[in-house]
Structure 1
């Protein structure tokens, strides 16, 4: 009988021992400590700092893009074949530089034809003027009728009208011929070749895309709460991670209609003297928010223990270590997000 009791007690004892170990590891036997506070059994009678708050301005970061303020599509004005294209993507061009040529054989032939007609009409007009002068002389002598003089005057007027019309045709043919030389309208960089030699062009067909690298913008979709406080001319900070550039830029345009889906306004800012910056680059725009009250304490009052930050709080003459979560630094002070309240006292030592 005693052997059976002994065998039964062993499993029960083992189970009780296991439960005690689990309870110990769970901290049931530990003294309860409030979260974020580490007690110190130490009296304090030194200098003190009273926690206060002040208004600070946060900068909200908005994703933005670099865009070209001046974009140009150089297009054909003629119905003709593209003969030559002299530029490549990424190439720098100057205003007035030859970019491409269009087949001009038909236009040259048209100019020659109009010139020939103009020469022929000029010869006829010269003869008609002579006949008119001769007729007027004979009429004064009573040798020809007045209607003969009128016929030659009419002839001269008709030839003058033809000469004027041909002069206008010649001017139009020359303009059309000059349009076969495609020139750069601005100083800029070639973005893309949109056509290749041999392509048949119609009026308005784009051939080359250009942009001016000296006139760039930052464009950003800004939520309406922030955009409502922006004004033209405001200076805002931008950062371009690709090249590490940081500078202040001016608000040049705020699109007056918001995106109804995202509730954001498109804001554009002009960049000055931007080196190694190209359209399409990612940028960060920093917009100041309304001033808000935040707790700030001197940085030297913060103690660091690895990744943790603590302060020494004086409560009833006793020091207590308390964990705090910090925000941004403002001068020689640091913002406290959680862990402290206004009016609490910190030890200064």
Structure 2
């Protein structure tokens, strides 16, 4: 074994003095508990653990939120009154058409033949009426001649009666033919209307939003008119908003309302409530009422079936003194009702104060009396929070002392 190794072994075998180790342990524990010399130790105060916010001025709106769907205010489904084959379609989807524009044409062959036949039958009846009228005039003349001759006893009474009956019969036949002519004219008018119906025109100006038929398709109009196209006026839209049964009692006709779309969340359209439908609908066991309001769409940014995020404005205050709702510590928290807050002063002192509320929302409230702009109100902590923090600090100090004593005993 070398001399150097033997020297190291003797140093390691030398006993360590316990007082030195004990002193080092106590010093280290004191540094850990009290902090390094020269380091500042924070002192507890009333404001410790208190979160406060300043009273600011802002616009406050109490709103009812809902979801809605956009629909055209005016739309019409254009169909055909007659059966037939669709010969030609003159419009396309998205095309803007004026009123009375030609939309489609049906095959008019059969209807044209029916009109021609009705016209021919009408002419035949008119000819018969003319013939019967001439005969009736002749029978009337013979009856009048016999009446003159009967005074001179030139004709018999029987001949006079026969001529009188013939005159009346001819007049009746003329009237019957006149009625048949009127009926034929009515039938002709119906046939001509059916023929005109083969050319389908737009009943209103708008945009073609749907086409339900194709060229060459046979349309049968027995019980219900087949729909060919749908036209909608996209210049003015209606929002169908779904409002829950809890919020619908607060909806009033004429109430201001605004909404935005998913495509333009930063743009808002304004309107007023026009109608609340009386019958609700149930969606996943949730009762919803439809609330309708209209809005102009001059630039065409709104389209049918778009989703709308709707806000019904119950109350609105501009430039109001606003505090967080979490600052309220008493009262009902309802609009136009008194409540209590804690005001934090610059010296850390807390002051309980009664305030009068105005507009109330889920997160913020308007203070109409009791606070001034710039004052700070406690939103978390406060007197109770300070007492709780003090109790926590008192509970923490014995624990630290106990730990130090235990560590000391181990040595």
> Structure 1 length as normaliser, TM-score?
0.70
* Cα distance between partner residues in 1 of 2:84 and 2:249: 51
- 1:296 matches 2:317: no
Structure 1 unmatched runs, 5+: 1-5, 7-23, 32-38, 298-311, 321-325, 345-349
Which residue number in structure 2 is paired with residue 269 of structure 1?
A: 293
Moved over 3 A (4+): 28-31, 39-44, 49-54, 288-291, 312-315, 317-320, 326-338, 340-344
Which residue number in structure 2 is paired with residue 15 of structure 1?
A: none
User: Residue 122 of structure 1 contacts residue 163 of structure 1 at CA under 8 Å; is this kept in 2?
Assistant: yes
Which residue number in structure 1 is paired with residue 278 of structure 2?
A: 256
Q: Which has the higher helix share?
A: 2
Mapping for residues 205-244 of structure 1, pairs under 5 Å: 205-243=226-264, 244=266
Q: State the 1:330 CA deviation.
A: 7.7
Which residue number in structure 1 is paired with residue 87 of structure 2?
A: 83
Q: CA deviation digits over 1:144-179, x for unaligned, max 9?
A: 622222332232122111111101111111111111
Given the superposition, is the C-alpha separation of residues 251 and 335 from structure 1 closer, same or farther in structure 2, using an over 3 Å criterion?
farther
Q: State the 1:289 CA deviation.
A: 5.6
* Cα distance between partner residues in 2 of 1:287 and 1:115: 63
* Cα distance between partner residues in 2 of 1:76 and 1:249: 37
Q: Which has the higher strand share?
A: 1
Which residue number in structure 2 is paired with residue 183 of structure 1?
A: 201
Give the CA RMSD over aligned residues.
4.1
User: Residue 50 of structure 1 contacts residue 343 of structure 1 at CA under 8 Å; is this kept in 2?
Assistant: no
* Cα distance between partner residues in 1 of 2:280 and 2:375: 37
Q: CA deviation digits over 1:30-49, x for unaligned, max 9?
A: 99xxxxxxx677999xxxx9
Which residue number in structure 2 is paired with residue 280 of structure 1?
A: 305
* Cα distance between partner residues in 2 of 1:289 and 1:340: 32
SS state of the match for residue 228, structure 1? Answer: helix
Q: CA deviation digits over 1:242-272, x for unaligned, max 9?
A: 2343132111111112334312211111112
Q: State the 1:328 CA deviation.
A: 6.0
User: Residue 74 of structure 1 contacts residue 209 of structure 1 at CA under 8 Å; is this kept in 2?
Assistant: yes
Mapping for residues 1-349 of structure 1, pairs under 5 Å: 57-142=61-146, 145-203=163-221, 204-243=225-264, 244-260=266-282, 261-275=285-299, 276-288=301-313, 296=323, 317-318=347-348, 338-339=379-380
SS state of the match for residue 250, structure 2? Answer: coil
Structure 2 unmatched runs, 5+: 1-11, 13-28, 36-41, 147-158, 325-342, 351-361, 368-372, 386-411
User: Residue 256 of structure 2 contacts residue 312 of structure 2 at CA under 8 Å; is this kept in 1?
Assistant: no
Given the superposition, is the C-alpha separation of residues 29 and 191 from structure 1 closer, same or farther in structure 2, using an over 3 Å criterion?
farther
Which residue number in structure 2 is paired with residue 307 of structure 1?
A: none
User: Residue 41 of structure 1 contacts residue 318 of structure 1 at CA under 8 Å; is this kept in 2?
Assistant: no
* Cα distance between partner residues in 2 of 1:335 and 1:270: 43
